[in-house]
Amino acid sequence: MLSRRNFVKVAGIPLVVPATLLGKSSIPPAAGQGTEKAPAIKSFSVFQATGNFHRFVGMNAYDKAPKGIKGTKSIVKVVLADGTYGIGPVGYSTADEQALLKLKPLIGRDPFAFYNWQAEKITGVVESMKEYFYDARYSWFESAVLDAIGKLRKQPVWSLTGEAQRDGIDPYDGTLYFEDIANNRDVSIIAETAKKSKTDGYRGIKIKLGRPSKWLPGEAGVQRDIDAFVALREAVGSNFILMADANNGYANQPGWAIQLLKACAPYQMYFMEELFPDDAAAYRKLREALLQDNFFVPIAEGENIRDLALFDPYMQDGIYNYLQPDMHTCGYSNILAMAKKAESFQHIKVIPHVWQSQLGLLMSLHASKIRRNIPYVEDSRYFEHAMVSSGYLFQQGQWFVSNKPGWGVELAPDYKQFIEGKEVVIS
């Protein structure tokens, strides 16, 4: 139980949750179409646990320092009345007092009733639960619920929510940052790092660009971005997918953006992400400028999409080719709903954004397994110390999804040693 005096850190911020605010609340019971009942939710908890990247990672356009190696992420754990538990990532949302107050009434509820069912499969979220699972302030809770349901039914989440559309799933290594600046090197370190990624088995890399906004201001930064991309292509060869992400590092600099893409386009850029803040008109002008020289570079955007309703303009603008709602923030059902919407637009594919989250990667793998229009997953090569995954295989450049129940993960027997701060338990 969380008392009035409890003062802890959750998701990186101080959290005070008065017990009076977490009392019982009236909420209409959700009713799925199935008749089978699950053990009720007994409690849930949130904690921050340590993890690490596979190597030292540099900075991006907006960072104040390199990412480094070590990190922490918030994890949610849901426990059912029979002792079954599920875990999931909290993402970029905050498990603050308001979120816990909203989620508290789900204790005592049947998790099967959160969904509509048909032929032993989940076909969607019931209407009364959309205010939770389609709202990024609370949708992180669902990941742990789905893990628990999968364990109860002895099925992987992908099998609960769809039919397999592919076996192997293509990832790209998303950890190639400003290694040159972080290590005071030239772009040869970009080439060296890329070769290691290729040796590790990856067949795609997303490189960070955007140096001119902060770390190498002006034309020098534009030229370094170009040199880095060219060095990357020369290092990995032609039969290799390369994406780029500028983290809005070309904001208010359309001339530099055109210069960058005209120089990089001949080296086969699969897509360009976040050159500048979402602006369909600006991207349309960019596309027209490139077409004058017979260049076309697909545009990726949308990692900040949190609301399903806001997804529509991105599809209808005719500008964006890849949409990237964040998996561990938006939640699994929300992402599937977005992918379902995108099926009506042949020029659009969905690639869920994932950063510093092993659980987020696994969730994306399950989604890609059952959605043909999720052709890639973003792999930040981050490892959660508090959990153990099983049944996943990375082979010949592809991930093969676990058939273990839920997400195919368990808490490590000694997981508490990896918790920073306190585990906040709500029951």
In tens, the pLDDT along 149-163 reads: 999 999 999 999 999
Interhelix angle 188-199/219-236, rounded to 10 degrees, is 30
Give residue 279's pLDDT.
87
Q: Which amino acid is at 85?
A: Y
Domain 7-161+415-426 shares a fold with domain 168-405: no
> Could you give the CA distance from residue 294 to residue 371 in angstroms, rounded to a whole number?
32
Structure tokens at 405: 């129940």
Helix (H/G/I), strand (E/B), else coil: 188? helix
- Residues with Cβ within 8 Å of 19's Cβ and at least 6 positions away in sequence, in order, are 1, 2, 3, 4
Least Cα distance to 305 among 317, 323, 280, 283 occurs for: 323
Give residue 312's pLDDT.
85
Least Cα distance to 160 among 148, 145, 147, 150 occurs for: 150
User: Where do runs of H (alpha helix) occur along 123-276?
Assistant: 130-133, 140-153, 157-161, 179-182, 188-199, 219-236, 254-264
pTM: 0.92
Give residue 19's pLDDT.
38
- Where b means 16+ CB within 10 Å and e means fewer, 14-38 reads ebebeeeebeeeeeeebebeeeeeb
Give residue 35's pLDDT.
61
Give the residues of the chain that fall short of pLDDT 50: 1-31
Q: Which amino acid is at 149?
A: I
Give residue 143's pLDDT.
98
Give residue 34's pLDDT.
54
Least Cα distance to 177 among 201, 200, 211, 212 occurs for: 211
Instruction: Kindly indicate whether the domain formed by 7-161+415-426 is annotated with CATH number 3.30.300.210.
Output: no
Domain boundaries, the chain: 7-161+415-426, 168-405
Give residue 93's pLDDT.
87
Give residue 28's pLDDT.
40
Give residue 7's pLDDT.
29
- Residues with Cβ within 8 Å of 123's Cβ and at least 6 positions away in sequence, in order, are 33, 115, 116, 117
* Dihedral over Cα of 357, 338, 406, 95: its sign: positive
Topology of domain 168-405 in CATH is: TIM Barrel (3.20.20)
> Could you give the CA distance from residue 387 to residue 410 in angstroms, rounded to a whole number?
6
In tens, the pLDDT along 265-283 reads: 999 999 999 999 988 899 9
Pairing of β 376-379 and β 168-176? parallel
Beta strands in 81-118 (DSSP E): 85-89, 115-118
CB atoms within 10 A of CB 290: 18
